[in-house]
Structure 1
């Protein structure tokens, strides 16, 4: 099986990219700014292998109705040439129109309105990708990942069916996408059960599993997490003075004075 080398396009890679008409959130989401021109050039990807056949690009696109999403790409050999091209494409002094024409001129790939794109026709150690959105309105691009070799599914079939970019390959890539997305969700499943890492919307569910009903929004997030960390022990001591005192302290931030009559 081919070595798997995946590239997640997150905040830091996007900050180093050339962008026009996009804003970047700390979560690594590209938001469309006002206007019609939206263009992204990602910094060079290095496979560290000559003649490397690239895999698959996948992202989530939430775009205005009627907009067009165009992904272009090409691959080259030679570190010196790759660095020169990378320097030009990421130079903020150049116009995005010039960079767009560069991709059109050299591009070996152009994909329109697809968020799951096979890159097998691109062969070379260094890969360059651009993304253009034509249209106006609110929208975003997120969860961008470059998968290599792209389809581990294909490694399970006889060699005769493993032709890169063939009909069977394109057909199976649909199921491969579902498989990867399911795998990513399962890899992060444990965070939903960790009081320190779970998203805030999961906190009421964690509380209910302990027999405690606290509606969403009743407590500040930090207070809710502190309470859940001690909930099991407090539940064992429920009805006692110590438990009541600790609950009040956790909820209000003040240790109560209990006067017994």
Structure 2
């Protein structure tokens, strides 16, 4: 392996339409847990391609509040969820630049690579994309058009360990680093992600959802533990973990109602 411990950033600690005081308090708790990096979406309210000035100001205030709460040494990762037009992406990026974000994630829809590339050229914060891309052919266009500084493919979305390693290898000659996405890949998927993260030279940081910790501890024999912002690479065979099959019986499959997540195309009220 290239490394024996994997740096992770905390996600899953926010949520809701918060004000700046609320988000600052939550961020401080994450820093107190020992994380050295944390990600959040600072934009309140429904998703819109064009956001008004009030929403822009609130987003900037939220980033400012988090930076003030955690100090200069914690990396803050700003998530946009592909919701912005290039014009607004550039404008918001410039307004938060003074707070030194670690990155600016998915400001523009990844399916429109030309629009993403045009925004990236005008943004002075590292731009991330890739969690909604599925094949090496989609990533190739991102690399060739220099549309991102960092990619965040998901090991389950792209088809497994080998495919993720191949995408990472494709990124390397373009000076693009890899930060695996993890929301769809909790516990077993995270185990696979950790193994890939240890094996690729152009690895940056891995996503870790704090709100899934208790589930992971309940169903796995070797649950991951974050120490100083890192997960130690497992040394057990295979992915480095086994499942507690008896405990899994507590979580039978059931049909959930549609999540109806807000999306850039909704342009909600």
Same fold (TM over 0.5): no
Q: TM-score, normalised by structure 2?
A: 0.26
Q: Output the TM-score relative to the length of structure 1.
A: 0.26
Instruction: Tell me which structure has the larger Cα radius of gyration.
Output: 1
